[in-house]
Amino acid sequence: MIMRVFQVSTHAGKEAEFGRFFHETAIPLMRSTPGIVSVTFGAPRAESPTEFCVVMVWQDLESLKAFVGEDYTNAHVHPDEADLVRARTIAHYEMVEA
């Protein structure tokens, strides 16, 4: 399994608009995507009011690529978020059983 950590920083003043996108579009989309084992969403805290995070666990690399394409190392950007986001980071990890 593959853990994908996706962090987003919005443009100042766009937090509420991105929050709506996050709840109305991103969360339902991710929860209904084939190959997702789990998905956890993080909303901003007071010390970082423009930062959102999504931690996804994918069944396998093929499932992840089916969703984002062959170049899975880059962020998959939904058209509705393109003008709201200042920066994105993405990282991948092999899932380890504790």
pLDDT at 7 (0 to 100):
94
- Give the domain range for residue 80: 2-94
The answer to whether residue 68 scores a pLDDT higher than 90 is no
Residue type, 70: E
Strands (E), the chain: 2-10, 36-42, 51-58, 85-94
Which pTM does this prediction carry? Answer: 0.85
pLDDT at 66: 92
What is the total count of domains within the chain? 1
**Cα–Cα distance between 15 and 66 in angstroms, integer?**
29
Give pLDDT tens digits for 6-64.
999 999 999 899 888 888 988 898 889 999 999 999 988 999 999 999 999 999 999 99
Q: Are 78 and 6 in contact (CB under 8 A)?
A: no
Please check whether residue 44 is in contact with residue 50, taking contact to mean a CB–CB distance below 8 angstroms.
yes
Here the tokens at position 9 are 């920083």
Q: Which CATH number goes with the domain that contains 22?
A: 3.30.70.100
